[in-house]
Structure 1
């Protein structure tokens, strides 16, 4: 039997991307030194891309100046060892455009742009928003489809149209619409990154480009291992590694607390830069932190 040809995978920002938390000092100020140390740690353990100021990075509660300073600090820390994608999505097209330009100046390699929230614009307005951002800089754009946060979907037909627009190169998929993902993969050259950790292997198996992972903050090497095993043709090992991570993925992203909260709680127990979350988020309860550490130890010592 002739071996199947592996799917072509556009990977403009790498394959194993971490949706990095934004470290803060104990008093809640931006911890740029900690951000550099965490970024270096993640890259050394298998991440070839870092996504800053996304959902996990507490973008709603960091200032424009902090976002730019974070990009610059992480760029200095990792150099050219990893790509940097800067989250610039807001509810305002003009504000998003300004953030995109500042991210470019600070050294980002790409832009993560969520659908504009709150106003609930129709699809033609969403499309115009993304085109405007794509035209604002020379950086490639990642469409961030996360309707649970924005309150509005980037509909598949809108994505198909935007795929033809210069500068729009990728999707971070948090839509939980696996059929739509496969439809778009089959009809476009967009790089499709799993934004939900439980979908990393599933999306990769049908031609996805990799992941933008929250859980990679705490087990970057394990999640890279899922993709490494698949690329090596050891699909059974890839499935085993994905399944073994399920309990930690569930505890960090599906237990009623935001992933930012659980990630920072666990990172703190691992003596890695994290710090507190900013209000309105509250820290994880002590019993949650203990349970997270137990799951982490079970996964990393198995």
Structure 2
């Protein structure tokens, strides 16, 4: 099967941001340890920092820049490193984008401005302004459940004409709309909801940007690898095996940041606490996550 162009690789992790035990500072050694682990041994092709999973609403601009620099140092020049620069204010987003480029980011994840719910013409102007301000590629981030506004397919079609808007992280749960845009543009679509990793790949997406990949990158990419070998039955099996952990981490009532940090901590990996207003997972939640993880890794 032909694999579409994947500008940042196929298997990307939406990486958590490890904090020190009190949560008041970045754990930069832990950041570098986790980043190195995620891209080792055929795990993740690239990393996405400072996104929803990275707790971007509660990190400072200086912390965001420091995170990019630390990860770039840890993984070297050949691993794609993207960083979230979205905010509710276009001018602030532009400034974050410029800082990220200077810090060594290979691309930018730009979410729709949230809360204000701008109309489509304003959304389009926002994304164009950001893309015009930098020299690195932009990945649009469509997650209307959090932002309150959809990047409508017609808007995406127009934005795809911009030379630096090259990709989209898709959390819109609109398979028809996504398939139409994929069929009509050269945009690289990345599934942002793990249960759609394989369905979106089947209609032309190139890969995923995953929170669950913080803990189980190899299990998630196994489905893509099998599909790209032409073994759809194996791809379906691999995808199905991930679903119990996906459901517990992403669809059980807690933000993925909370569940990812709980599981990584249980595995003895760098994570640290979540920052308020988020609260840590309860012990029984962590126990369930660990059991699902262990069952998944046994199957591998």
TM-score tier (shorter)? over 0.9
Q: 2:231 matched to 1:234?
A: yes
Q: 2:10 matched to 1:19?
A: no
CA positional deviation for 1:155: 0.6
- Secondary structure at the aligned position of 2:82 is classed as strand
CA positional deviation for 1:247: 0.5
- Taking only aligned residues, the RMSD between alpha carbons, in angstroms, comes to 0.8
Equivalent of residue 39 in structure 2, options 33, 40, 43: 43
- Calculate the TM-score normalised by the size of structure 2: 0.98
CA positional deviation for 1:230: 1.1
Q: 2:101 matched to 1:93?
A: no
Moved more, 218-227 or 108-117: 218-227
Equivalent of residue 33 in structure 1, options 29, 33, 54: 29
Quote the Cα distance in structure 2 between the aligned partners of 1:67 and 1:277: 16
Equivalent of residue 161 in structure 1, options 153, 158, 177: 158
Query: What whole-Å deviation, never above 9, does each CA across 1:17-63 have from its counterpart, x for those lacking one?
Result: 00000000101111111111000000004101100000100000000
CA positional deviation for 1:81: 3.8
- Secondary structure at the aligned position of 2:108 is classed as strand
CA positional deviation for 1:80: 2.6
User: Which runs of no fewer than 5 residues in structure 2 stay unpaired?
Assistant: none
Residue number in structure 2 paired with 1:278 = 275
Residue number in structure 2 paired with 1:245 = 242
CA positional deviation for 1:165: 1.2
CA positional deviation for 1:7: 4.2
Residue number in structure 2 paired with 1:216 = 213
Quote the Cα distance in structure 2 between the aligned partners of 1:77 and 1:241: 30
- Secondary structure at the aligned position of 2:126 is classed as helix
Runs of 4+ residues deviating >2 angstroms: none
* Cα pair 2:20 2:26 within 8 Å, conserved: yes
- Calculate the TM-score normalised by the size of structure 1: 0.97
Quote the Cα distance in structure 1 between the aligned partners of 2:16 and 2:3: 30
Aligned residues: 297
Residue number in structure 2 paired with 1:3 = none
CA positional deviation for 1:224: 1.4
User: Which runs of no fewer than 5 residues in structure 1 stay unpaired?
Assistant: 1-5
Quote the Cα distance in structure 1 between the aligned partners of 2:166 and 2:71: 23
